[in-house]
Amino acid sequence: MKPIVYVTRRIPDQGLALVLEHCQAEVWPEETPPPRNVLLEKVRACDGLLSLLTDKVDAELMDAAPRLRVVSNMAVGFDNIDVPAATERGILVGNTPEVLTDTTADFAFALLMAAARRIGEAIDYVRAGRWKTWGPMLLMGHDVHGATLGLIGLGRIGSGVARRAQGFNMRVLYHDVVRRQDLEQQLDITYTDIDTLLAESDFVSLHTPLTPETRHIINADALRKMKPTAVLVNTARGPLVDSQALYAALRDGVIGYAALDVTDPEPIPLDHPLLTLPNCLIVPHIASASVATRGKMAELAARNLIAGLKGELLPTHLNPAALERRRAP
């Protein structure tokens, strides 16, 4: 008998084929996530769950799933999962780091450049039929080369952005809870406290996980410390930024621009004030969305799921301690 698993959305075939080969799988077929009541019902009989960042996997869900042995999240971030609750219950949890690092760092840099050079506004300008001639002061932005970049969070993706910044001859500052002296020379980056980073950076890019400590790390106070021309880039998690404070700061010229791949709430409602601002560029959480990388994420998520079902350590595990308490098939 194959183990029973639920896959909360259709994922790329590299992963789905593996899941279907090893498991008796049901896949939620819609574009939007399964509603909570559906998910709670579906996990009742499941040995494994392949989840996405849009699925809340908390103690209530785990308690509704007495056979659940593994939760494999197809994302590097796992703030949607209560990992300590899973560990207590002997449920293994995995995520998909590494495979998306460069793709996400590419995209953070793309957003940084798009904001600096006002590419979104320029596209709208042309499409609105407003391009009458070459203009000596038309859509002037700010240079990326030679500017100062401040990275909040220097994990894999933050380091990847620092590496790209070298090619643009940028001065790179970083702040993290752990100082990474080992990387400072290699990446030509300087550790600073957060206030110095905010005050000196032309671009501030967020690369920290969402935790109670990092929620609203960019609030009204932090925004006031930034340069009036500064660009804020967020490819990490929406709630790192206080959206209301960001709106006021962009509207009042406290900072210059924001480029957001993630928002709070997500998706951003069409009547959200941030969408009324010309100096705010918003895209729908697609930083890791290259064909190759989404395939690798799906495959890794499938491998984590299958390993967990066999009671093995997951290739990219978040709570190996759960192995000692693992549930019998």
Task: Give contact residues for ligand GLV (rule: CB under 6 A).
Answer: 53, 75-77, 100, 288
Q: Least distance (Å) from ligand GLV to the CB of residue 53?
A: 6
Closer CB to ligand GLV, residue 33 or residue 77?
77
202/261 with CB nearer ligand GLV: 261
Min dist. Cβ of residue 297 to ligand GLV (A): 7
Please tell me which residue in 237, 294, 303, 317 is annotated as part of the active site: 237
Give the pair of three-digit tokens for residue 284: 């729908």
User: Residue 197 Cβ, how far from ligand GLV at the closest point, in Å?
Assistant: 23
Q: In the bound complex, what is the minimum distance in angstroms from residue 113's beta carbon to ligand GLV?
A: 20
Annotated active-site residue 121? The verdict is no
CA distance 125 to 119: 10
CA dist., res. 171 & res. 176, Å (int): 17
Closest residue by beta carbon to ligand GLV: 77
Question: For the stretch 40-77, what's the b/e string if a residue is b when 16 or more beta carbons lie within 10 angstroms of its beta carbon?
Answer: eebbeebbbbbbbbebebeeebbeebeebbbbbbbbbb
Here the tokens at position 245 are 């404070």
Instruction: Give the C-alpha distances (Å, rounded to integers) separating 15 from 75, 272, 289, 296.
Output: 13, 35, 15, 8
* Distance of alpha carbon 169 from alpha carbon 232, whole angstroms: 19
State yes or no: is 324 an active-site residue. no
Closest distance to ligand GLV from the beta carbon of 171 (Å): 28
User: Which listed residue (22, 164, 207, 285) is catalytic?
Assistant: 285
Beta strands in 133-183 (DSSP E): 148-152, 171-175
142 is catalytic: no
The nearer residue to ligand GLV, 77 or 273, going by C-beta atoms, is 77
Nearer to ligand GLV, 46 or 74 (CB): 74
| Joined tokens for residue 50 | 């392949």
Task: Count CA atoms closer than 13 A to 207's CA, side-chain side.
Answer: 29
Choose between 72 and 288: whose C-beta lies nearer to ligand GLV.
288
As measured in angstroms, the least distance from the Cβ of 117 to ligand GLV is: 25
Among 26, 266, 272, 327, the one annotated catalytic:
266
Phi, psi for residue 37 in degrees, rounded to 5: -65, -35
The owner of tokens 């301690």 is: 321
182: three-class secondary structure by DSSP: helix
Catalytic residues: 237, 266, 285
